[in-house]
Amino acid sequence: MTANDSRQGTALLYDPLRNKGTAFSATERAELGLDGLLPPAVETLDDQADRAYAAFLGYDKPLNRHIYLRQLQDTNEVLFHRLVTRHLEEMLPVVYTPTVGEACRRFSEIYRRPRGLFLSYEDRHRFREILRNRPHDDVDVIVVTDGQRILGLGDQGVGGMGIPIGKLSLYTAIGGIHPARTLPILLDAGTDNEELLNDPHYLGRRERRVTGDEYDGLVEALVAAVEAELPGTLLQWEDFATAHARRILTRYQDRLLTFNDDIQGTAAVALGALTTATRVAGTRLADQRIVILGAGSAAIGVADMIRSALVDDGVPEEEAVSRFWFVDVDGLLTGSRDGLTDEQRVYARADEHESYGLAEVVDRVEPTVLIGLSTAHGAFTEEIVRRMAASCDRPVIFPLSNPTSHAEADPADLVRWTDGRVLVAAGSPFPPVTVDGREVPVAQANNVYVFPAIGLAVTASRATRVTDRMMVAAARAVGDCAARFAPDDGDAPAPLLPPLREMRDAAREIAVAAARAAVEDGVAPKATEEELRAAVEAAQWSPQYAQ
């Protein structure tokens, strides 16, 4: 054994995609210069996962568990993904919401090893050159954020990198996108968070955010670099401020293979849960009167997605729009109000001239569906919910704001205030609720039901664009998977979304539906459903050690 062989063995142990740790066989250890660098025991991947799970449980605080999993990911990608896929329900809230919010807030404090690319404003003329520094040449999915609107926490600056890292972990764990073919990007435009600007340990650009043409030029520099270096790669926009999110999506959705998860992913999951809820209630989507609290990009996106489904079901466009009432901090959106965006004005009520608050809107409209994307904790009060339930046999209520501390209501309260009649999905994880003496899981309307499947769909089908019909197809498939993987057994009511433990299987079904829509829309090569299904199954990577 030469010194050079030993150094190669050491380098192998520091490569998270090739490292097997104690799973290297005796033969591999001898051949790869690993003798003496590992304890003598040889474990299987499942042995390692058992040991890692015990270590995970040894941390009592969610943030410490998050840090442990991130360190494991940076050490051994295969083991990390085997562990997460085996315990997805338990680890999803740690890898992603709500714990990732705290990890973003304390990013500079807990930073250990680099992952992804940081693209700063000062380097905007060199983005293509910097993209060439990516760890792996071939990339299927990029998730990018500028850190300005992280969950319900606001501007986290460079700390926003926790979001792309967490999202891409789930692209792999659920969608099966190979971890080497993912790339998280933090677009550092600066920060307006005074606490970060005054923090001597803050790791980001210590300047106010660039705005206006400078900001648009920064985004364009990123897009141009991706087009030049990684053409055909899916680019997902994540946690951009309301003022930018819709505008960026509109500008680039016909130019790139791209989508905005906050706008389109949230909307697809909400539509999927609503599809199940209407089936359980014995009603039709076209029968619903929908009140939405919050009028940001995510809320408008939810309405747009439901409206598309209504039109797809044969409801005239004007009638579909009339099914929505939006309420924000200033009350009901009306046509007489100044300062509305073009997207908001579509839903502004021309038949109303006074901006009533939520309680009065509920009284006047008698909604069948109440959706919250306001980040206003507790906004769905007992009085409002009881008023809604008085005129609706099976009220559908979705408090979708993240994190848990910003939810519009606690599902347990909703069950109590409606005498168990509510059909509920929440944006954050909540414990099971008791209905008629039985524990019923609360559906978490997490975007994880959609975005990994979209990544899998475009990878397998070779789609060149993400269309609205692809997202609606994915949403309907989410509802179908809820019935398939969690059927109502006549005793305890089934949740409105598929169980998380079945999400890898569900992701394949959702991906096939989205891929089929891509072919029908002409943005993917012609293929039969059988061919698409085979391509999806072949594209879904599983965490196993290479021989």
Which residues are known catalytic residues? Answer: 96, 167
Burial code (b: 16+ CB inside 10 Å, e: under 16) for 419-433 equals: ebebbbbbbbbbeeb
DSSP helix/strand/coil, 449: helix
d(CA 276, CA 154): 32
> Which token pair is 137?
């040449």
How many CB atoms sit inside 10 A of residue 171's CB? Answer: 29
CA 375 to chain centre: 17
d(CA 405, CA 377): 7
d(CA 172, CA 176): 4
Positions at the binding site for (S)-malate? 149, 402, 446
Positions at the binding site for a divalent metal cation? 238-239, 262
How many CB atoms sit inside 10 A of residue 273's CB? Answer: 29
To which H or E segment does residue 429 belong? none
Phi, psi of 250 (to 5 degrees): -60, -40
**One-letter identity of residue 302:** V
Positions at the binding site? 149, 238-239, 262, 402, 446
H-assigned helices in 76-126: 77-86, 88-95, 99-105, 107-110
- Name the nearest CA neighbour of 270 among 20, 506, 497: 497
To which H or E segment does residue 511 belong? helix 503-520
Instruction: State the residue for tokens 């338990």.
Output: 90
d(CA 505, CA 13): 32
d(CA 434, CA 352): 40
Kind of pairing, strands 324-328 and 331-332?
Answer: antiparallel
